[in-house]
Structure 1
Amino acid sequence: MKKIVLTASLLAMSFGMAHADPIADRQALMKDMGRAVGSVAKIAKGEQPFDAAAVKAAFATMAADAKKLDADTLFPDGTQTGGDTEASPKIWEDRPGFKTLIAKYQTDTAAAVAEDPQDLAAFQAQFRTVTANCGSCHQNYRVKK
């Protein structure tokens, strides 16, 4: 009985993996990061009071998503075209540069979580660092439709 359950589980998992959609996966990840940034953007602009819990949660989400940001998995060869993607061909033309920006984003989001800013000035400094990564990547590796 255990073998049947295990076999069925493995088949179900492999079926799900066989139908993975890197374009949809990366878009979902980008949207989640965007929501995290947006959730604290008004705080960064001084339009809302500083909220340490909201800041911590946003940075935690960004850092968790950054760990999932893998160029080879989310931007494999063959996903340059097709589907509704804003990924620039530069991603595949300059793979090392793209991976370097991903690594920097991962490092900076982890540092923001570790710092755990407890006041507006500290948060704004970390937020600028983290979101500068977003801007650099989007300017170089995104085609706005």
Structure 2
Amino acid sequence: MRRLILAISAVALTATAALADPISERQAIMKSNGKALKSISAIAKGEQPFDADKVMAALKTLNEDAQKIDVEKLFPDGSQTGGDTTASPKIWDDMAGFQKAVDKFKADTASAVTASPASLDDLKVEFGKVAKNCSSCHEGFRIKKG
């Protein structure tokens, strides 16, 4: 009986550890995205001077992070409750809709890099597309904190 309990505990611990990895990985990507967006948000709002190098670095980071979002790998079934996550159960209820939102984010960040905004007006167009993806996904597929 003791061996059975130990075996079950080991399996449960292994499963919990396996689910923690995608949560940590997706959170790291989202934190990086947030940092990149924040770094150019004030520029897009006209509160800081336009800096093409800073803008491109942030857009490239956003694009690289977006391309890392593998829905199957980062949002496997069971990871909605496997740790400290604000991912909404709606992701797993509407995986096709979530995948579509991720695909749009990937396309829009790639497009922003290709557009290589050379002015504040150009940045506003590209930043608006990318930021709209973030807000719509957070509204539909994220649990609000607090």
Q: Give, as a single letter, the amino acid of the residue that structure 1 aligns with 2:111.
A: A
TM-score normalised to structure 2 length = 0.85
- Aligned equivalent of 1:134: 134
**Is 2:99 the counterpart of 1:93?**
no
- Aligned equivalent of 1:51: 51
**Is 2:70 the counterpart of 1:70?**
yes
Distance (Å, rounded) in 1 between the aligned partners of 2:98 and 2:23: 16
Distance (Å, rounded) in 2 between the aligned partners of 1:122 and 1:114: 12
Distance (Å, rounded) in 2 between the aligned partners of 1:65 and 1:117: 19
- Aligned equivalent of 2:13: none
The alpha carbon displacement at 1:60 in A equals: 0.2
Q: Kindly, what percent of the aligned residue pairs are identical?
A: 54
Deviations 1:50-72 (Å, cap 9, x if unpaired)? 00000000000000000001111
- Aligned equivalent of 2:21: 21
Aligned residues: 128
TM-score normalised to structure 1 length = 0.86
Q: Give, as a single letter, the amino acid of the residue that structure 2 aligns with 1:143.
A: I
Distance (Å, rounded) in 2 between the aligned partners of 1:39 and 1:64: 16
The alpha carbon displacement at 1:82 in A equals: 2.8
Distance (Å, rounded) in 2 between the aligned partners of 1:99 and 1:131: 17
Q: Give, as a single letter, the amino acid of the residue that structure 1 aligns with 2:88.
A: S
List 4+ stretches of structure 1 deviating above 2 A: none
- Aligned equivalent of 1:40: 40
Distance (Å, rounded) in 1 between the aligned partners of 2:77 and 2:89: 10
Deviations 1:107-130 (Å, cap 9, x if unpaired)? 000000000000000001100000
Unaligned runs of 5+ in 2: 1-16
Unaligned runs of 5+ in 1: 1-17
